[in-house]
Amino acid sequence: MAGLFDLSGKQALITGSSQGIGLALARGLAGAGAALVLNGRDRAKLETAADMLRAEGFAVQTLPFDVTDHAAARAAVDGFEGNRGPIDILINNAGMQHRAPLDEFPADAFQRLLQTNIASVFNVAQACARHMIARRAGKIVNIASVQSALARPGIAPYTATKGAVANLTKGMATDWARHGLQCNALAPGYFDTPLNAALVADPAFTEWLKKRTPAGRWGRVEELVGAAVFLSAPASSFVNGTVLYVDGGITASL
């Protein structure tokens, strides 16, 4: 039974993994036996995260590249596969937020959201999938959101990108499941992360969230690990195109 969740011998690339959810998922996958490949654009932050995880006894490599650059993503993945071995698991975690009323939303911020939150998922998944297809095995986990299903004032473009992540995940499964890949999405609810720092610091929002969420609290990033390991492990061998919400019940409740 334990083998269903064993990632020993697998290499996992986690984008945006120098902090927050990406770093927590990296630590969790390493705890299940995976060797880590951390990605980010800030090399200094990436190396700090890598050193911290190495000090905890985990096998860690870094692969800095800009996930919004299609050519850079493909070159980085191809180079890694050629020189350092297969990427068996991809966690597409890189993302950003920008809050503004929709009628005043800056066009340049909208474009950045599209590139960071959805184009990056396509870029890195395609680069990794080409190798996974050749091996007829691979796990792709895209990080969606409760905003894949719900909306709130001030984040309409973010909501649009996360809805796109959910549907792109279904498209990946539809195209690639026949080649032995499992492509799914993990959709966090409201978690205490750097991306949500402004909301966490807002007592009124926190009070609203506690009332709105059946679990009555913010999520802790460690609570995403079990779902991520499941979607990355043999246990999910016949799970494809699924969006798994880890949200304290917020999408289940009015």
Which residues are the active-site residues? 158
The Cα angle at residue 7 between residues 13 and 68, in degrees rounded to 5: 15
Q: Quick check: 51 and 77 in contact, CB under 8 A?
A: no
171-197: buried (b, 16+ CB within 10 Å) or exposed (e) per residue?
ebbeebeeeebbbbbbbbbbbbbebbe
Instruction: Say if strands 35-38 and 11-14 run parallel, antiparallel, or are unpaired.
Output: parallel
Cβ partners under 8 Å of residue 216, min gap 6: 210, 248
CA–CA separation, 96 and 194 (whole Å): 10
Residue located via tokens 């190798």: 131
Tell me which residue of 15, 1, 13, 20 sits closest to 221, measured CA to CA: 20
Cβ partners under 8 Å of residue 40, min gap 6: 15, 16, 17, 18, 22, 46, 49, 64, 94
Instruction: Say if strands 89-92 and 138-143 run parallel, antiparallel, or are unpaired.
Output: parallel
